[in-house]
A and B are shown apart, each in its own frame.
Chain A
Amino acid sequence: MKSFIFYSVFTLSLLLTLLNPTTLESANLTSVKDTLQTSRLSTRARVDATGTSVGSSRVKIKTSASAPANTITTNNLKAQDSIIVGTGTYTIVGVVDADEIDVSPVLVSGDADNDDPIYLKMKPRHVVTFTTTTAQANGYFRVLLPADTTLPNDGNPDDDGYDFNTSVDVTATDIANYDFVTGVATVSGGAGCTTPANYHCFEVHYSGAGAIGSTIILNIGNTSGTNTPIAPATGGSHTEGTADTYSYLVRNYNATNSLVDSTTGKVAHIEAVRVTATVDPTINFSIAGITSGATRCGVSTDVTTTATSVPFGVMALNTFKTLANDLTVSTNASGGYVVTAAENDQLGKGGATTPFIPDNPGNNTLASESVSDEWTTTTINGFGYSIQNVDASSVPFQYTTATGNCTGTFCSRQFADAQASETPGTIFSSSTVANAENVYVCYRLSVGATQAAGDYENQITYTATGTF
């Protein structure tokens, strides 16, 4: 019975304490996160003088760690990164292999010595967001980022925390009940930033009543990297491909500097993933037929051509027939391309060398494989061509050319004759990359009464060549 009464009183006493619980003074801020501009680790490596020399662009890094220089591969580096080697600033122009990179400009004296430092300084802006759980009037928020224990503010990446990097900008976004002033950053160990040890302090004060459930956004640093902490370099026990995680603290103080709410978050840094792809240089050349009746080089074409045939068919005496082909080139080679043309011989009867239809002499009998001449007189017989440029970078002439011997109606040339060892003539070209640049080549034939009857033929070779 005694024990029954004892336990009843004890239980009742416990229940009575719940009637008036004490006010909770500290709680967790919720939805805390630190969004980094980039989660890429900084790099702190050492020069290996066995593969690095003054005047060379090649930098070899040591493959054994020596704290705080724990980076032993090039896996966190990529082309165009700005790095420090020794005391000089260089740009990576290429990653050669696991322990070698090429930089520009070449290394100068003092930057190629054994164990000279190699730094890649990543300076990501931190955007810290969280939700308040209590309303603290005229208080302040403080974010604490982990700092190096030895040199937390020397401007170089550290292996166990953020380097303060001399000066840091801290701002917060005003919202209802929180009117922020510009924040203050204090290096680890500085005035008011000693507890807990080895944390940099970033503080923003506000005026206002505060509120429960408000989302606060604090910015530490800038997207440009100025006045921004330097991200940690490779840690002492780092495994490549596995993030190094660091704890940071977010705190809310009231107007009397008492800590009210606090939450610990985690932030992770990992190597950049270097994505590589190779696009082979190539050149594409297309030749297409054109149907009869199409207007090319200012005239209507008489017969349909194909990619491989130019069938003039039966010719009337002293009459022009004009046919055309469509030539197109694309290349991703930075040097561009050139398309040349040459005929194996003049149009020969049955493909033989004689009798033959001569190459076009032009109205002024000045046309050749390299000199243009107008050709509008049907009684001037021969075989020649002109060009209509659609969008090629460069053509030597067009049917509309109105300079020299041409007046701009049908400026023409002869095809270079390989039989006569003439140099192939350029049809169109470019000195840079080209996307489907094309021209029309217009063939023209006229035969006179003295031309022996028969079938005449030759072969015209168009050759597309890349530019060196």
Chain B
Amino acid sequence: MKKILSLTILFVLTYIQGMFAIPFAKAQSTTLSITPPVVEILIAPGKKLIQNFTFKVDGDNLAVIPEIHIAKPTDNHGHMTIDPMPYNPSTISLTISANHALGQVVSLKNNELNLGLTFDAATVDTAEDIYLALIFKVVSTDLLESASSTLPAISSLILVTINPSGVTPIDLNIENFDLPLFHDSYLPLTIAPTLKNNVPIMLRPRGSFEVLNANGKTIHSLPLYPNLILGQSSRGIQADIKDLPSSLTWSPTWNNFGPYRLRLTIKTEGGTKIVEVEKPLWIVPIRGMLLVLLLIIFWITIFLIKKRSQYSKIT
């Protein structure tokens, strides 16, 4: 009996010890998503606007910290750099409130968080842009036991224009629209001009890229992708191919020869022309000419060799 009792106690103790010894499961993968990823807001001073964001995460034992940071354009491709520290509310002309506490850990319901932000625009005299990023940082509720840990985060850009007059100032100029003097008609011509926005207000212009022959007739035309250009920044000019941005490319054909002009026209969304630049370019079949030259040299060489062998036979 004693033996049975001691064996039972041993079994129970072993089981309990085993239960406590089970290591915590660690998520092998964490997937985050946010909708919408970019929000553009045009608001008048003194007006209020509510925008909802949906954040989802796949993974166990996770919570989230929503934060708002200042963002600024990084390059010509529309990428933003987010300030590593949360924004200082006193530095912007916008009061932001949320239906969940910002900067604090928020538990998730069904691995999802719906965050509503209310934007109150302050009174300003002139149009002003504010660029923000709403960041959701995922934190694990498991104990950390590593030398380094990673925090997956995802953000939504919030691009705000506070405009008291309703009139958007426009000052754009085309840069880097440089063409070679000659271009081989065998090769496609790709250009990468940029559009610089000289005012502090974001703008989404439209436009077209045209190639004109010597008679002024348009032989190739592409609509420009309506990229957003943030205030005081530049953006690469791209073509609109099936509603997606694509490089500005023209592939000349074998019969394109002579002087051509490449024209970039930038317009407002309403169609008013803002700026137009035209650059000349000569299309020359350089490879074709080289080929002909090589053939000529080849035939001359053959001819000379033949002539020499005939001469040596005579002598």
Contacts and interface: CB of A to CB of B under 8 A. Distances in A.
Contacts of B245: 334-335, 431-432
B32 interface: yes
Given A347-B147, A431-B78, 12 more contacts: A285-B31, A308-B150, A331-B37, A336-B77, A422-B84, A423-B84, A426-B74, A431-B245, A461-B151, A465-B80, A466-B155, A468-B230
Nearest to B145: A311
Contact of A307 (B59, B137, B148): B59
Contact of A287 (B133, B150, B227, B243): B150
B78 A464 contact: no
B36 to A, nearest CB: 5
Describe B's contact surface by its main secondary structure. Answer: strand
11 contacts: A55-B270, A282-B34, A307-B152, A309-B140, A309-B149, A333-B38, A334-B244, A445-B147, A461-B151, A464-B155, A466-B36
A460 B150 contact: yes
Most chain A beta carbons < 10 A, residue from B38, B84, B144, B149: B84
Most chain B beta carbons < 10 A, residue from A287, A334, A432, A433: A287
Interface string B136-166: 0110101011111111111111010000000
B150 A467 contact: no
A325 interface: yes
Contacts of B35: 280-282
A122 B217 CA distance: 31
A288 B29 CA distance: 4
Most chain B beta carbons < 10 A, residue from A282, A338, A422, A465: A465
Contact of B31 (A286, A337, A416, A423): A286
Interface string B227-254: 1101000000000000111000000000
Contacts of A422: 84
Interface stretch (A36-44, A268-276, A451-459): A451-459
A459 B151 contact: yes
Given A340-B81, A460-B149, A289 B33 contact: no
Contact of A461 (B38, B81, B153, B230): B153
A309 B26 contact: yes
B152 A310 contact: no
Contacts of A331: 37
A302 to B, nearest CB: 12
Contacts of B85: 418, 421
Given A284-B32, A285-B31, A307-B28, A347 B38 contact: no
B307 interface: no
A466 B156 CA distance: 7
Most chain B beta carbons < 10 A, residue from A308, A309, A460: A308
A321 to B, nearest CB: 9
Contact of A312 (B36, B142, B144, B146): B146
A281 B40 CA distance: 13
Interface string A408-446: 000000001010011110100101110000000001010
Contact of A335 (B38, B84, B154): B38
A455 B147 contact: yes
B137 A461 contact: yes
A445 B30 CA distance: 24
Nearest to B148: A310
A132 B74 CA distance: 74
A325 B148 CA distance: 12
B211 interface: no
B78 A336 contact: yes
Contacts of A55: 270-272
Given A57-B271, A331-B37, A465 B228 contact: no
A313 B28 contact: no
A462 interface: yes
A193 interface: no
Nearest to A415: B148
Contact of B81 (A284, A312, A424): A424
B138 to A, nearest CB: 8
A283 interface: yes
A289 B38 contact: no
Interface of A: 55-57, 105-106, 280-289, 306-313, 325, 331, 333-338, 340, 342, 347, 383, 416, 418, 421-424, 426, 429, 431-433, 443, 445, 455-468
B201 interface: no
B284 interface: no
B133 A465 contact: yes
Interface string B152-185: 1111110100000000000000000000000000
Contacts of B152: 285, 287, 307-308, 462
B26 A431 contact: no
A337 to B, nearest CB: 8
Nearest to B223: A104
B7 interface: no
Contacts of A336: 77-78
B230 A284 contact: no
B129 to A, nearest CB: 12
A463 B154 contact: yes
A456 B155 CA distance: 29
A282 B140 CA distance: 23
A62 B83 CA distance: 52
Contacts of B230: 468
B32 A306 contact: no
A55 B29 CA distance: 53
